[in-house]
Amino acid sequence: DRMLTMDLHQGQIQGFFNIPVDELTAVHMISRYFIDMHLEDLVVVTDLGFAKRARQFAELLDAPLAIVEKRRHGNLDRAEVINVIGEVRGRRVIIVDDEIDTAGTLIEITRALEREGVTEIYACATHGVLSDPAVERIANSSLREVVITDTIPLSPSRQIDKIRVLSVAPLIGEAIKRIHRGESVGA
């Protein structure tokens, strides 16, 4: 009689249901992870499609936002990075998105940022789909660390040192408790 979900790809999906839908977000949890790392000279990077949500992430980190302009080729799951909009040279970068599937776009963005002269590259996403060959691509990249949540389980055979998985269990547990008590989930 009610649905609890996490970082929908498109907010309009909530309208597909005729029951209450509570959409939780991992943005605070993931940003807290990076805040606790005390990284300096940060800039948050995302593509145009995720810019609105990435703005909140950048504000939580007190960092500027840069945008990567990309173009998809037909229906292929391949994107070409055309341009980086914003000052990234000599800075530490966190690439943020809602999901990482094959990591093809992530690696293209990483290469574009390397050409722009960044010093260190991290990436994060709520949903680590990590379809083949994502783990191999991440392992062979210059990415320092990729932070995802456990909304999609990562099998032990796919776990590598570069991938850090954060648990959403406390967030979902708190939401269930608030729903049960009739308290605000949004707060």
Residues ≥6 apart with Cβ < 8 Å to 53: 27, 46, 96, 98
Q: What whole-number distance in Å separates Cα of residue 138 and Cα of residue 146? A: 8
Q: How far apart are CA 113 and CA 84, in angstroms?
A: 8
- Verify cis geometry, omega within 30 degrees of 0, for the bond prior to 156: no
Catalytic residue among 52, 70, 162, 177: 70
The reply to whether 70 belongs to the active site is: yes
Q: Tell me 147's DSSP state.
A: E
Catalytic residue numbers read 70
